[in-house]
A = this chain, B = another copy of it.
Amino acid sequence: MEIIKENRFTEEQTQIALFAKAFGHPARVKILQYLFESKSCVCGDIVDEIGLAQSTISQHLKELKNIGLIQGSVEGTSVCYCINNETWTKMKDMLGEFFDQDLISSDCC
């Protein structure tokens, strides 16, 4: 869609922002927490847990899936969603480094 290369931001800056956006909505924070805490991760259970319309939850799940934080596997007529630990770790590393900037920063003002 965006053909012309945008030089304004680095790949890293863009990726950090994309990860942040992924849990930049309380529903997606809650979904991710639920997937970590719960043994069950069926889509219908998530809908019950969060309290938003089924189509809305599907939309949020799609966003989390698009960035790779979760993955879904069809189980009969249900779909089981899980954290993708590889992406989760990558996110932890990237954002962890971003957060720790303060440790090597000099004072200002």
Residues of B contacting A89 in the complex (Cβ-Cβ under 8 angstroms): 102
In the complex, what distance in Å separates the CA atom of A23 from the CA atom of B22?
Answer: 11
Q: How far is the CB of A14 from chain B (nearest CB, A)?
A: 5
**How many copies of this kind of chain does the complex include?**
2
A26 within 8 A of B: yes
Nearest residue (CB) in B for A14 is: B26
A41 and chain B: residue at smallest CB distance: B108
Most B CB contacts (10 A, CB to CB) among A20, A27, A30 go to: A20
Binding site for B on A (CB under 8 A): 8-9, 13-14, 16-17, 20-30, 32-33, 35-41, 50-52, 73, 80-83, 85, 88-89, 91-92, 95-96, 98-102, 105-106, 108-109
